[in-house]
């Protein structure tokens, strides 16, 4: 496998991530200066709960749609799975919404928004339904390798969730109007793509036998908990702050998460291409996979150094209410870093079909996150909650790597990787003390950069040779 060819293929699926990064940074000056912290926190809570609930109502059938897209499962074809997902998810959403309205409407709305607003639950239900349609339609474009349409869908969804609510400021900065814009936009474009992909005729009630239905659900439902746990873990800090009714801190932490998640766009894009690549090539391309791990480690360290050194530029564009997060935003980034690195170290768990291991790791990580946040919030406020995020991420990174390497070796040198981990942790934790000491950060960054170049000198040489070859060919 050629390194250049690999990264060229991967870059085809990076367009939505690049657009997300640009838009996320572009709207920060507006959002952070216009929306009060508590209103922004409630908007973010709506988005977070909607996306997390999506994977519950789908019951793992989206994974079944991917797995059995090109083959039938006990007489169920992909059209049946599409319509089955649509109807089961829709019924699930309706029943759950009705139950909440009748029995616990006040409790849920106060927890999510700090006040009783029943119509927001209806909007949340519509939003989850729209996301379900988006999810299934984007799976089809991905499986059919319609790269352009897939990228368009992802970019539209990004604009809806990251930019559309900014239009609310022309009317009001109240979070409720922003939520209405997000919901209506998501539903409208989901329906547009539904007709564009000519899937409307597949929304018939499928003629599936009881045995076949039990079989497909037996396959799909066990896949759901791990995904839900991952979302819960990523959202635990927000849930803790919402539970304490501290929507102001929720807004600040959400803004810091938005900044840190610019890094997370890399693992998102990488995973889209890396997953099918691993399944297809893990037997024949193990040496190349080890090289990719080293490149990912090198890229991770360099990008963390970039954020560490240039964070003052980011915080210049942020409103004064949100600047309290500068000391800890890089601790939040550790979650995205572990997601990226784990993609190259933990696949042995999946390849050996040890899916329960991932579930157990996710459960323990979630407990670490939530318990740390709840116990430390009264003492350390939002910093204690963020500490829970970082400890959870560190636990996942170490345990997934150890167990993953037991089943499939993808690391050339374990000591090289351990030292790489240590360098990343040093950078991130030092920011707590030196976030406002520019000179100290630059000196430390240069020192760690030199250590990194020595540690990964062979990989750096290969990269420079590739770049030199490309430059020479262009001149020729």
More confident residue, 132 or 66: 132
pLDDT tens profile 26-59: 778 888 888 888 998 999 899 889 988 998 999 8
Q: Which residues contact 193 (CB under 8 A, 6 or more apart)?
A: 133, 134, 137, 153
Instruction: Identify the pLDDT of residue 461.
Output: 82
Q: How far apart are CA 210 and CA 215, in angstroms?
A: 9
Give 126: exposed, middle or buried? Use CB within 10 Å, 0-12, 13-18, 19+: middle
Q: How far apart are CA 28 and CA 317, in angstroms?
A: 7
Instruction: Identify the pLDDT of residue 418.
Output: 93
Q: Could you write out the DSSP letters of every residue in 81-94? A: HHHHHHHHHHHHHH
The predicted model gives 206-224 an average pLDDT of 83
pLDDT tens profile 5-17: 666 666 666 677 6
Q: How far apart are CA 348 and CA 238, in angstroms?
A: 32
pLDDT tens profile 445-468: 999 999 999 998 888 887 777 666
CB 266 within 8 A of CB 340: yes
336 pLDDT exceeds 70? Answer: yes
Phi, psi of 72 (to 5 degrees): -85, 150
pTM as predicted: 0.82
pLDDT tens profile 158-179: 888 878 888 777 778 789 999 9
Instruction: Identify the pLDDT of residue 206.
Output: 79
Structure tokens at 82: 């599409």
The predicted model gives 217-241 an average pLDDT of 84
Report the candidate in 347, 326, 285 with the shortest Cα–Cα distance to residue 434.
326
Q: How far apart are CA 156 and CA 373, in angstroms?
A: 34
Q: Report CA 433 to chain centroid distance, whole Å.
A: 28
Q: How confident is the model at residue 225 (pLDDT cuts 50, 70, 90)?
A: confident
214 pLDDT exceeds 80? Answer: yes
Q: Which of 5-14, 340-349, 432-441, 444-453 has the weakest average pLDDT?
A: 5-14
In the chain, where the domains are located: 1-14+244-476, 35-221
pLDDT tens profile 102-120: 999 999 999 999 898 899 9
């Amino acid at each position: 496998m050629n390194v250049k060819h690999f990264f060229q293929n991967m870059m085809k699926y990076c367009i939505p991530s690049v657009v997300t990064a640009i838009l996320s940074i572009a709207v920060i000056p507006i959002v952070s200066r216009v929306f009060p912290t508590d209103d922004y926190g409630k908007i973010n809570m709506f988005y977070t709960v909607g996306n997390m609930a999506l994977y519950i109502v789908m019951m793992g059938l989206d994974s079944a749609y991917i797995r059995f897209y090109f083959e039938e499962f006990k007489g169920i074809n992909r059209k049946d799975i599409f319509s089955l997902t649509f109807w089961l998810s829709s019924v699930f959403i309706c029943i759950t919404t009705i139950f909440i309205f009748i029995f616990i409407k006040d409790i849920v709305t106060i927890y999510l928004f700090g006040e009783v607003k029943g119509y927001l639950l209806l909007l949340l239900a519509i939003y989850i339904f729209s996301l379900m349609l988006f999810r299934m339609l984007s799976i089809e474009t991905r499986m059919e390798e319609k790269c352009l349409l897939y990228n368009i869908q992802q970019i539209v969804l990004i604009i809806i969730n990251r930019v559309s609510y900014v239009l609310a400021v022309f009317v009001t900065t109240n979070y409720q109007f922003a939520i209405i814009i997000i919901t209506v936009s998501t539903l409208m474009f989901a329906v547009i793509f539904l007709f564009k992909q000519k899937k409307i005729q597949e929304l018939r009630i499928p003629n599936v036998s009881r045995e076949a239905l039990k079989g497909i659900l037996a396959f799909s439902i066990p896949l759901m908990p791990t995904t839900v746990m991952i979302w819960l873990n990523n959202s635990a800090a927000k849930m803790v702050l919402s539970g304490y009714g501290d929507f102001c801190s929720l807004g600040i932490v959400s803004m810091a998460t938005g900044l840190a998640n610019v890094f997370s766009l890399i693992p998102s894009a990488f995973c889209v291409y890396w997953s099918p690549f691993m399944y297809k090539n893990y037997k024949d391309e193990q040496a190349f996979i080890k090289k990719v791990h080293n490149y990912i480690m090198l890229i991770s360290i360099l990008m963390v150094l970039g954020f560490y050194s240039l964070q003052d530029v980011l915080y210049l564009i942020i409103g004064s209410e949100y600047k309290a997060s500068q000391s800890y935003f890089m601790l939040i980034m550790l979650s995205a870093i572990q997601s990226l690195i784990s993609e190259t170290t933990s696949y042995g768990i999946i390849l050996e079909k040890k899916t329960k291991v991932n579930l157990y790791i996710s459960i323990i990580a979630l407990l670490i996150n939530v318990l740390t946040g709840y116990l430390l919030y009264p003492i350390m406020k939002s910093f204690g909650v963020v500490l829970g995020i970082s400890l959870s991420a560190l636990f996942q990174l170490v345990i997934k790597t150890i167990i993953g390497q037991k089943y499939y070796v993808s690391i050339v040198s374990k000591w090289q990787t351990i030292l790489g981990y240590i360098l990343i942790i040093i950078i991130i934790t030092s920011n707590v003390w030196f976030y406002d000491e520019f000179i100290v950060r630059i000196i430390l960054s240069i020192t760690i950069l030199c250590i990194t170049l020595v540690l990964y000198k062979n990989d750096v040489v290969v990269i420079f040779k590739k770049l030199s070859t490309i430059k020479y060919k262009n001149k020729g």
